[in-house]
Structure 1
């Protein structure tokens, strides 16, 4: 449980920093905190609070992913992180950018964002797999 928490915190902080960097250098066409404005949440609050709450949400999501993905140790982490990362990022950008279902829409997807999410999912998967195998080995002893 401690490992899952630490891994989730690190993953959430790295993803938040990467999203800020991608937005700063215009590598993504949307703002990471844009959903606050869309849903009218925390409009009067400071940016520090908004980013802190966003990191908290990412941490919860990472923790849930860690706990779920540790049971996928039979599937290689490369394959599952690639497929899950592509599915999540393409769906997320499709919804955020409100793209039509056409092949031309694929040109508007951010490749650096896709790569970052896939790398972080690989980090989560490899850590979860390692600790699940270690836990199984300790049970057998």
Structure 2
């Protein structure tokens, strides 16, 4: 559990920093902490709290992914991280940007965001696979 916690924390911090950078350089057309206004949560809180809560949510998601996907070590991490990353990023941007179901909507998706998520998922999955294989080899 210690390795899962550390790996999830590192991936959450890196993803939050990358999201801030992508938003700062206008590579994504949405704010990473903009869902607070949309949902009416934490309206009077500081930006530091918004980002801290986002990092906490990313940590929990990363931890759960680490625990669940370490048992899928039969499937190569390259393939599973690529497919899962594409699915997650396309779905997330489709919902956030409220895009219509048309082929021309794919042009509005952020490729740098997809690359960052796929790379971080690969980091999580490769670490989980490695430690699962090591654990089974020790038995």
What's the TM-score once normalised by structure 2's chain length?
Answer: 0.99
**Large movers: runs of 4+ above 2 Å:** none
1:85 paired with 2:85, answer yes
2:80 and 2:48 map into 1 onto residues whose CA distance is 34
TM-score under structure 1 length normalisation:
0.98
Measured in 1, the distance between the counterparts of 2:60 and 2:81 equals 18
Matched, 1:98 2:84: no
1:128 deviation in Å? 0.1
Q: Report the equivalent of 1:73.
A: 73
Provide, for residues 50-96 of structure 1, a one-character-per-residue CA deviation record: whole Å limited to 9, x for no partner.
10111001000000000011011001111000000000000000000
Q: 1 CA distance for matches of 2:123 and 2:97?
A: 27
Q: What does residue range 1-141 of structure 1 map to in structure 2 within 5 Å?
A: 1-139=1-139
Distance in 1 separating the partners of 2:2 and 2:102: 44
Stretches of structure 1 that go unaligned for 5 or more consecutive residues are none
Inter-partner Cα distance in structure 2 for 1:81 and 1:16: 19
The runs of 5 or more residues in structure 2 that have no matched partner are none
Q: Number of paired residues?
A: 139
Give the RMSD, CA atoms, in angstroms.
0.4
